[in-house]
Structure 1
Amino acid sequence: MSEQVEIEFKNMITLSEYKKLLQLFHAKEEDFFYQSNSYFDTPDWQLKLKHAGLRIRLLPEYAELTLKTPFENDLLETTDSFTLEEGKKMIQQGKIKSSGFVYTKLISLGINPDELRLLGNLATTRYEHKTKEGLFVLDHSVYCNQEDYELEFETAHHEEGKKIFQQFLIDQAIPTRPSKHKIARMIEANHQL
């Protein structure tokens, strides 16, 4: 289990901006990795109402169950790790394990984990570029017959990180385009089908 504050800034980008940033960061094909995200909520949207999100992420070698909850200006991530087989089984059954720190945290939020249902899936090809200021992330996501591109910046300090990210957008001539969380984009696209 891990619990950490996630301080990140996001901006939607176009395909041409995405390609430009990959060149800027000198991205090579072997630097990309694939992840599959499966999102959960209750039928009456208890997580959404608490501005929280729950996902199972399948990575190349293991799976993560992550609950994101509001924490000051940022998010608190509570994560349990599982084998790939366990992660796939939870997705297939549409249920999370009835143990672990995420399960316990859901109970503490007044959410019955047995009421959770699978909302949908989103696949992301990710590239990460580490700098002394923080981590730049480029995501190409595919979901519900749609695809999009997103720039994220993860940092250790909120105010300083915000300034660095805003200056980076200005330096790269990228307009500010607010980015909804991936779960929100997937849910909206699902409702349009």
Structure 2
Amino acid sequence: MAQEYEIEKKNLLTKKEFETLREYLKLEEKDFSSQSNTYFDTGEFSLKQAGAALRVREKGSSAELTLKQKNKNVPGLLETNQNLTDKEKEDILNHTVFPQGEVTEQLMASLQISSEDLQALGTLYTKRASINWHEGEVFLDHSQYLDTEDFEVEIESASEEAVNKLMNKLLTPFSIPVRQAPNKIARFFNRKYAQ
């Protein structure tokens, strides 16, 4: 089963702060790639209530189905990933028919949710660049969804202590304040409900 724990920290940025960090990290336009995330949940938002999220990510010519879940015993999120064929991706996006595999097994085993109860909620488009930086990886994201755009920096590393240290090391020299950064699906839904 393709699963891993992800220790990450995010910080929302203004457009100017985003450009400042992009220049500091020497990231050029060619370093950014486009991806889209189409999110799914039940009509009763069972995944959201369980602290989980399900998405199809399209990046270049590849597509991946990912289930993210909170885990009480480990910081971070448990990710279950499943690569999709073109036909599987089209079946999900056009007909909400999910393939058998690690993700649907995990939905049933840990959340008691059938893939037949899922529906598409919308798509968020992101331009993302990443770079290895000290003992972690830094991601700069520019996202567009509904009538909104936002900017964020995300850092992944081996521990909570490491991501906090790296985030402080990156933001402090530019006097960028620490801002709460709900995950992308939460920001998408907050904007959807505000409309």
Q: With structure 2 as the length reference, what TM-score do the two structures score?
A: 0.94
Q: Say whether 1:107 aligns with 2:105.
A: no
Q: Tell me, yes or no, if the aligned pair for 1:4 and 1:77 is still in contact at 8 Å.
A: yes
Distance in 2 of aligned mates of 1:178 and 1:104: 33
- For 2:9, the equivalent position in structure 1 comes to 9
Q: Say whether 1:51 aligns with 2:43.
A: no
* Cα offset, 1:85, TM superposition: 4.4
Distance in 1 of aligned mates of 2:101 and 2:4: 16
- For 1:157, the equivalent position in structure 2 comes to 159
Moved more, 129-138 or 143-152: 129-138
Segments of 5+ residues of structure 2 without an aligned counterpart are none
1:74 partner amino acid? G
2:123 partner amino acid? N
Q: Tell me, yes or no, if the aligned pair for 1:120 and 1:187 is still in contact at 8 Å.
A: no
1:136 partner amino acid? V
Q: Say whether 1:63 aligns with 2:69.
A: no
Distance in 2 of aligned mates of 1:29 and 1:163: 27
Distance in 1 of aligned mates of 2:112 and 2:14: 39
Q: CA RMSD in A?
A: 1.3
Q: With structure 1 as the length reference, what TM-score do the two structures score?
A: 0.94
Distance in 1 of aligned mates of 2:174 and 2:97: 43
Residues 7-86 of structure 1 aligned to structure 2 (within 5 Å):
7-71=7-71, 72-86=74-88
Distance in 1 of aligned mates of 2:152 and 2:160: 19
Give every structure 1 segment of 4 or more consecutive aligned residues whose post-TM-superposition deviation is greater than 3 Å: none
Distance in 1 of aligned mates of 2:116 and 2:158: 35
* Cα offset, 1:86, TM superposition: 2.7
- For 1:129, the equivalent position in structure 2 comes to 131
Percent of pairs with identical residues? 37
Distance in 1 of aligned mates of 2:21 and 2:89: 32
Distance in 2 of aligned mates of 1:166 and 1:49: 31
1:58 partner amino acid? E
Paired positions, count: 192
SS class of match (1:114) = helix
Distance in 2 of aligned mates of 1:132 and 1:146: 32
Could you tell me which of 95, 104, 122 is aligned with 1:93? 95
Distance in 2 of aligned mates of 1:22 and 1:3: 30
SS class of match (2:48) = helix
Distance in 1 of aligned mates of 2:140 and 2:170: 14
Distance in 2 of aligned mates of 1:95 and 1:171: 48
1:147 partner amino acid? E
* Cα offset, 1:171, TM superposition: 2.2
